[in-house]
Homo-oligomer: A and B are copies of this chain.
Amino acid sequence: MPIRRQLDAIANLGGADRVLDAGATLYRQGERCNAFFFVISGWITLTTLLENGNCQILDFVIPGALLGFPFLSGLPRRHSAMCVTPVRVVCYPEVRLDDAIVKNAELAIVLCRQAALDEWRAHDHLTNVGLRSARERIAHLLLELSIRLAGRPPRKGESFRIPLTQSHVGQAVGLTSVHVSRTLRSLREQGILRFVKQDLHILDPVALGRAAGFPDLAPDVATTLNDTRLMNFDALPKAC
């Protein structure tokens, strides 16, 4: 079981459970912080803040992920990790990367994989924002989140709890919340999806895929995600 292996790998690092309210931060941009975290429940955003007050959401972190490992230890964080919902994590404070890796090759493998996955999502996100239209960006994001939550492409009529505001969506894909609202309306009117009160209903997965700009790529992406242990934590045995 993938996530079991992650936990085994870090078992001897002595983590402690921690509960945070919505709006709290795990670490802040500019801060030196050598802790890292395993997310048990709740949603977290990784955000960078600009001087002008604008804010970019780099990624959404969902349960089952490792978060914030200080590969570049001692250096200030480049982004903040903020809780969107109440969050439960295992916190591993003051880890020394070099020691931990030398002592534990299994951990090194898990970390490399996690880093590669994170980078892959960052790249995906970048192409999304860089060369797609508003409609495509939003469809793409919602489809990606569905796939990450389900571990496979969504089926017709399925629905997911996505605790984000339209403003979050906008900050993630580089649009104003106003335009997100308009675009969601258009998608709703075309019978592709409904996103009300943080519940996303997938009415037409195929049309959604087409709107998102992956034509038949979705199954492949799902395989990737599944293969590399970014699954929904709730779907796991209670062993952890």
Residues of chain A whose beta carbon lies under 8 Å from any beta carbon of chain B? 46, 48, 50-52, 54-56, 58, 71-72, 75-76, 78-79, 97-98, 101-102, 105, 108-109, 111-113, 115-120, 122-127, 129-132, 173-174, 213, 215, 220, 224, 227-228
Q: Considering the complex of A and B, which 5 residue pairs feature the smallest CB-CB distances, nearest first? A: A71-B116, A115-B115, A130-B174, A122-B122, A108-B108
CB-based nearest B residue for A117: B72
Q: Are B54 and A131 in contact (CB under 8 A)?
A: yes
Best-buried of A120, A123, A124 by chain B (most CB within 10 Å):
A123
Question: Which of B108, B120, B122, B213 touches A126 (beta carbons < 8 Å)?
Answer: B122
A101-B105, A213-B51 given; A123·B78 CB < 8 A = yes
Q: How many copies does the complex hold?
A: 2
Residues of B within 8 A of A127 (CB): 48, 50, 56, 58
A126-B58, A126-B129 given; A108·B119 CB < 8 A = no
Q: Are A113 and B50 in contact (CB under 8 A)?
A: no
Question: Which of B51, B78, B97, B125 touches A120 (beta carbons < 8 Å)?
Answer: B78
CA distance A183 to B190 in the complex (A): 38
